């Protein structure tokens, strides 16, 4: 296996790996638990790009992200693959949106599979949604045509869902469209 974007890194030799776990082990060792909020200052000092932080799931972290200079926040539990017991992104979204109070854009990632998922995310305050698995699944199954197909399905589902909710414009989507149920 070869990863073109990082194959030039010294010490990285997974091209002769016999198991998938070698790749997992390599990346698991790249996570640095000593990274702090102050490290964001360094990142900003070496890059002119806007800082967008992914993985924010709590109000206090959202506020710290803004204070650290984030220009946008992505509410994400990384698809549940980093910590399988983490809160679902949609369940954390309102708290994060409320905490930043419009000071930065809030996007959401994780579990978006249907047009109704997009409507829910927008109603909870997301500026946009990010897609991963649906796009990758279709790319693997049907290439570019599959990706176009899934995006068209999503677009059509959003249109129908908006019409059924009485929304003519994206801006018409608001929290009052949602009903929260309590599970017992």
Q: Is residue 9 part of a domain?
A: no
Q: Is residue 147 part of a domain?
A: yes
pLDDT score of 2: 44
Q: Is residue 6 part of a domain?
A: no
Domain count, the chain: 1
Indicate the pLDDT class of residue 180, thresholds 50, 70 and 90. Answer: confident
Over residues 4-32, the pLDDT tens digits come to 544 555 555 555 555 556 766 776 677 67
pLDDT score of 40: 87
Q: What are phi and psi of 9, to 5 degrees?
A: -65, 135
Q: Is residue 125 part of a domain?
A: yes
pLDDT score of 74: 98
Q: Is residue 124 part of a domain?
A: yes
pLDDT score of 84: 66
Residue 123 predicted with pLDDT over 60: yes
Average pLDDT over residues 128-136: 93
Over residues 25-82, the pLDDT tens digits come to 776 677 677 788 888 888 888 999 999 999 999 999 999 999 999 999 999 987 655 6
pLDDT score of 3: 47
pLDDT score of 14: 52
Query: 82: domain CATH number?
Result: 3.20.20.70
| Gyration radius (Cα) of the chain, Å | 19
Measure Cα distances from 85 to 34, 77, 78, 79, 180 in Å.
22, 9, 11, 11, 21
Contact at 8 Å (CB) between 56 and 75?
yes
Catalytic-role residue among 29, 78, 149, 155: 78
Considering only residues 26 and 149, tell me which one the structure prediction assigns the higher pLDDT. 149
CA pair distance 12, 22, nearest whole angstrom: 11
Residue 29 annotated as catalytic: no
Domain span holding position 154? 20-177
Q: What is the SS3 assignment for the chain?
A: CCCCCCCCCCCCCCCCCCCHHHHHHHHHCCCCCCCCCCHHHHHHHHCCCCCEEEEECCHHHHHHHHHCCCCEEEEECHHHCCCCCCCCHHHHHHHHHHHHCCCCEEEEECCCCCHHHHHHHHHCCCCEEECCHHHHHHHHHHHHHHHHHHHHHHHHHHHHHHHHHCCCCHHHCCHHHCCCCCCC
């Amino acid at each position: 296996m070869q990863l073109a974007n990082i194959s030039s890194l010294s010490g990285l030799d997974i091209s002769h790996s016999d198991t998938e776990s070698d790749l997992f082990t390599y990346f698991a060792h790249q996570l640095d638990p000593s990274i702090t909020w102050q490290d964001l200052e360094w990142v900003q000092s070496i890059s002119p790009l806007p800082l967008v932080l992914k993985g924010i799931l709590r109000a206090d972290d959202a506020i710290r992200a803004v204070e650290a200079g984030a220009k946008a926040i992505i509410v994400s539990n990384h698809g549940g693959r980093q910590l399988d017991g983490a809160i679902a992104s949609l369940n954390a979204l309102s708290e994060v949106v409320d905490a930043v109070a419009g000071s930065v854009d809030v996007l959401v990632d994780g579990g978006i599979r249907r047009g109704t998922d997009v409507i829910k995310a927008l109603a909870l305050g997301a500026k946009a949604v990010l897609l991963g698995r649906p796009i990758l699944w279709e790319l693997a199954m049907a290439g570019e045509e599959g990706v176009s197909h899934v995006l068209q399905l999503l677009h059509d589902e959003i249109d129908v869902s908006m019409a059924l909710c009485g929304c003519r414009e994206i801006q018409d989507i608001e929290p009052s469209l949602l009903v929260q149920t309590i599970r017992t």
